Each structure stands twice: as C-alpha cells, then as structure tokens.
Chains A and B, each alone.
Chain A
Amino acid sequence: MKVLLHNRSMLPGAILTLLFTGAAIISLVWVPYDITILNIADRMKSPSLLHPFGTDQFGRDILSMIMVGARTSIAVALVAVGIGMLAGVPLGLTAAARKGSLPDEVIMRSNDLVFAFPSLLIAVMITAVFGASALNAIIAIGIFNIPVFARLTRGASLTLWSREYVMAARVAGKGRARISVEHILPNVMNLLIVQGTIQFSLGILAEAGLSYVGLGAQPPTASWGRMLADSQTMISLAPHLALFPGLAILLTVLGLNLLGDGLRDLLDPKLRRSRA
C-alpha cells in the first residue's frame, strides 16, 4: 500500500483499471437498465439524474451499455494477451535456450514475418475469410501479440543464460528445458507482467478500432467501438453519444498504461531513472 501511494503513476492507474474492470464484473449481475429493451420515447436524452450518461438513438441507457461494453473490450484484450503469452513466451524461451541454432533462427524469422502484419491487416484477412466476430478480433490481436512476447522473452532470457546460477544449474546436470522453466521464466516474469499490461491496453484500443469499422464484435453484443460507429451520424445532434464511449476507452487505456509504468518502476528499480 505504501508503495502504491509513493508511486505517481501506479495509484491513478490502479484506480482507473479497477473502476472499469469493476464495471465489467458488476455488469454480469446488475446494470442500471436492461440494454436489450428499446425505448424509443426516451431516445437521445441528454445526461440527467435518471440516465447519468444520457440515452442512445434507441433509448438505451448509455451508462449500462458502457458497463456491458467494458466486458467485451476487457475480455477480447485479455484473451488476446493470453494467446500472445501462451504462444510467445515458450517460443522466446526455446529460442534463447538454443541461441544461434536452427530453431532459434526459424522462430525469430517467423516472428519478423508476423511483425510485418499490423493487427488490423491480420483482422482484415481473417474477416475476409471467416466473417466478422469478436472471436476473430481476439485471434487477430492475439496473433499480433505472439512476436511481441517471443522477442521480449528471448531478449531478456539471453542475458540470464550467462548468469552464474544458470551455469550452476547446467553443471548440476539440468537440461535446457528444465532450466528455462525453473530458472529463466521466474526471472523474466516481471518484464512479462509489465509488457502484458501494455499489450492489454493496446488490445483495448485495437478491439475498439476493429469494432468501430465492423470487424469486431457484432450487434447485439455491446462494444465501445460499435457504440462510437453508431453515434457517428448523430454526433452533431447528440454529442454525448460519442463522448462517453470514447472517454471510456481513453480512461481504460490511460489507466492500464499508468499501471504498466508504475509496475515497471516497482518491479524493475533500474529503470526508474531512465524510463521514457
């Protein structure tokens, strides 16, 4: 707690992140209004006590939609980070354990290749073949995350392989795979957590962008990007339609970035002074 209070980024970051994950979790059991019920009589109402964020073109409560949308954004981004880590970390560990060998070359060159495909292009290809859905957005962002984690893990692991405690483990007869899991992985975990937070925030942005252009979650699933797309033609009549979903994305991403910065400071004191 003391650390939290002394770290300038960590506290606001943690609060914002908790706020939106909290809203997503609460929406599973309770929302102020049912967003599946259309109420044309109350359409495009400005923010009021009854509807703090106003209502949309179908009379649905925007606060409730943002709470449900948080679920979509967070779920897509979180699973995409999971895919990136589950595939990328073992690849990075293997490449580092066999530095300079054929597997290392193959892994790293494939990484470079996937890196040439921005997540949006992967999404475009997947959608062209399978159609648009939240699942395809997850796969696209997840694939994009794999080389990020693979590179990071390899880079961080390589320096560890020359450490004395790893040498000692090798002398003791442990195999490369076992050393990777028992000695290398725990020591790169901090970096992975920090990068995970950053990729999580990028995932939220990517999901919003994909849903905005119709490549992500499809109606009736509520998503922040979708809400923005729907509000576009009505922005001059009812700016609040676009204001609140956009702010939700901005504050969630900001919160995660601040949390990532704070975690980096906390977990890697060496970076405290030189960080960007």
Chain B
Amino acid sequence: MLQYFLKRLLSLGLSLVAASILIFLALEVVPGDPAAYMLGINAQEDTLNALREQLGLNGTILQRYLSWAGGLLVGDFGTSYTYRTPVSELIGERLWVSLPLALYALTLSTMIAFPAGIWAASRRGSLVDTGVMGVTQLGVAIPNFWFAMLMVLVFAINLRWFSAGGFPGWDAGFLAGMKALTLPAIALALPQASILTRVMRSSLLDTLGEDFIRSARAKGLTKGQAMWRHALRNALIPVLTIMGLQFSFLLAGAIIIENVFYLPGLGRLVFQAISSRDLIVVESVVMLLVFAVIVVNFAVDLAYALVDPRLRRRR
C-alpha cells in the first residue's frame, strides 16, 4: 500500500509542476505590461521600472516562474493588478462561496443518483427503469444555466421561495447561506446526477451478472441481500471515478452558474479579472482549480485502493 501511495504521490507532484508550467507559459508570456496597465499611460519610466521590480516582472522567464511557483507553495499568489490586494485574500473570500456550492451540488447529485441508479438496476426493463433512464437522458442534455434560469423564474420570481440571486454571506447565518446556494446547487447537480445515475445503474447491472452474485444467490441470499451485501461495493469503482471527475467539473462549472445567480464566487472573480486583464488573478484561479482536479483524482485513486484491496497490489 505504501509503495502504491508513494508512486501515486510522485505522479501527483509531477502533474502539478507540469500544469503550473503550462498555465504560467500560457498567461505570463503574453504581450502587454501589467505595470503600464496599473499606472496608466502617463507613467514615468522609472516609476514603471520600480513597480515592475516590485511585481517581480523584471527577471527572466525562469526566474519569474520560480518566484511565482515558490510563492504558490507558501500560499502567496502575488498581488492583484486591479484590486491591489493579495490574490490569496481575494481567492480566500470567494472560495467560501464556490467550495460549499460544489460540495452541496456533489452531495445532492450523490443523494439523487445512488437511489435512482440502484432502483433502476433492481427493476431492470420495468417502467421504473425506463422512466429513470428517460429522465436522465433529459438531465444530460439540458444546459444547466438554462435550467437555472427556469428555476429562478418559477421559484424566485413566481413563487418567491428563494431569492433570484446574490449571496447574503455566512455572517447572515448558515441556513440563509445554504438557502441562497440551493437553486445554484440544484442547477449544478442535475446533469451530474443524471450521468452518475446512469453509471451507477450500468455498473450495478454488470456486477449483478457476475459469478459471485450467482453463488451468493445459490447459497440462499435474496436478490436484495445479494445486491446490498455483495454487488454494491463491487459496483462502486466506476461510480467513484465519475464522482472524482465530477467534483472538478462542479468547481469549474460553478463559474457559469455563479454568473446566473450573481454569486460572489471564484467564477465571478475570474470574469472580472478577464475584463480588467488582471492576468495574475486569472492565472491563480485557473491554477487553483486545476490543482483541485489533480488532487481530487489522486484522492479517488487512493479511494479505489480502500474500496478494492486487490488494486493495491495490482498497480
């Protein structure tokens, strides 16, 4: 297990380094001088130079990369060109909206997908199965920001159960915060829940066809017992893979949904940064999200080994 863990850890480190180089090259080596942008067109050359020095823009590409990556390691993302505050502070504030939103959506998606997938698989070919599969087919095809707009129309504008957008902040209380995140979380969760239901169903059906399930039935277990005790755990591997992938899509997908609901999360931050060409903010948010994707996939790999002990040796 330790060897497996170390091997995965090494590949995690390498992926992070490679991703950071890619992001740095894509966003740093572009025309335009952030110092000139901050100080305006009338700035003196020596003031510009001083600011470039302060922002660490004067070194070679390698020096600049090392200083940026070194900063990332200790949580120093640099200073925003437009906000003039540390990027880590900006991200920290926004993360308190985006992260709970992604977790909320993931929880909803799992809570819908597991029962629905198990239900459909246990009644394969029935009306229930056809119904669940039909709904998931629609759920996969629906653009989630459009679904979000429809929910705003029905639940916020017509029924007035929720507000149409904005976030009161966690200071207003946990319930008020969660209420503001509910419609966005449902919108984010719907397509993911549909995909997960389909994966859960097909994985469970595959497992139910295995010999060990037949043996379990032969020794007298009911269909339900065989499913809960033996099939479910074995069917979880593909489900976990998809859940890992989904978390990153939820974090990134939140960028669009935050826009529908005017939530002050990472997505809004990134769009404001793009429009003001605050590249260091864009760079940092992208790096953070890619970091999340890579680390979550690493965690999923480890979770495999816990769910299926055979994988510890095989890999």
Contacts and interface: CB of A to CB of B under 8 A. Distances in A.
B289 interface: yes
In this complex, the member of A214, A236, A276 whose beta carbon has the largest number of chain B beta carbons within 10 angstroms is A276
A235 B157 CA distance: 9
Interface in A99-137: 109, 112-113, 116-118, 120-121, 124-125, 127-129
Interface in B166-188: none
Interface stretch (B20-28, B69-77, B94-102): B20-28
Contacts of A113: 15, 18-19, 22
Contacts of A116: 15, 19, 248, 290, 293-294, 297
Contacts of B285: 124
Contacts of A201: 141
B153 interface: yes
A270 to B, nearest CB: 13
B134 to A, nearest CB: 11
B146 A246 contact: yes
B282 A120 contact: no
Contacts of B66: none
Interface string B177-215: 000000000000000000000110110011000000000
A249 interface: yes
Q: How large is the interface on B (under 10, 10 to 19, 20 to 34, 35 or more residues)?
A: 35 or more
A245 B142 CA distance: 12
Interface stretch (A22-30, A170-178, A205-213): A205-213
B138 interface: yes
Interface string B248-277: 110011011001100000000011011001
A217 to B, nearest CB: 15
Interface in A185-227: 201, 205, 208-209, 212-214, 225
A235 B153 contact: yes
A120 B252 contact: yes
Given A113-B19, A236-B153, A128 B27 contact: yes
B304 to A, nearest CB: 16
A178 to B, nearest CB: 33
A124 B141 contact: no
A208 B188 CA distance: 15
Interface centre among B27, B153, B274, B289 (most CB of A within 10 A): B274
A118 B293 contact: yes
Nearest to B287: A121
B15 A239 contact: no
Contacts of B106: none
A110 to B, nearest CB: 8
A251 B137 CA distance: 11
B145 A117 contact: no
B140 interface: yes
B150 interface: yes
Contacts of A129: 26-27, 30, 279
Interface string A140-175: 000000000000000000000000000000000000
Nearest to A131: B274
B152 A235 contact: yes
A228 B18 contact: no
B286 A121 contact: yes
A39 interface: no
Interface stretch (A42-50, A58-66, A77-85, A252-260): A252-260
B201 to A, nearest CB: 6
B143 interface: yes
A128 B248 contact: no
B36 interface: no
A246 B141 CA distance: 11
B90 interface: no
B149 interface: yes
Contact of B153 (A120, A124, A239, A257): A239
B256 A120 contact: yes
Q: What 8 pairs between A and B have smallest CB-CB spacing? A: A276-B202, A246-B146, A254-B141, A253-B141, A118-B252, A276-B198, A128-B282, A116-B293
Interface of B: 14-15, 18-19, 22-23, 26-27, 30, 137-138, 140-143, 145-146, 149-150, 152-153, 157, 198-199, 201-202, 205-206, 248-249, 252-253, 255-256, 259-260, 270-271, 273-274, 277, 279, 282, 285-286, 289-290, 293-294, 297
Given A212-B143, A232-B260, A254-B141, 7 more contacts: A118-B252, A124-B282, A235-B149, A242-B146, A250-B138, A250-B146, A274-B206
26 contacts: A109-B18, A112-B15, A116-B290, A116-B297, A118-B253, A120-B253, A124-B274, A124-B286, A125-B282, A125-B286, A128-B273, A129-B27, A205-B143, A208-B143, A208-B146, A214-B271, A228-B143, A228-B145, A242-B146, A246-B146, A250-B138, A250-B142, A251-B141, A254-B138, A257-B137, A257-B141
Interface of A: 109, 112-113, 116-118, 120-121, 124-125, 127-129, 201, 205, 208-209, 212-214, 225, 228, 231-232, 235-236, 239, 242, 245-246, 249-251, 253-254, 257-258, 274-276
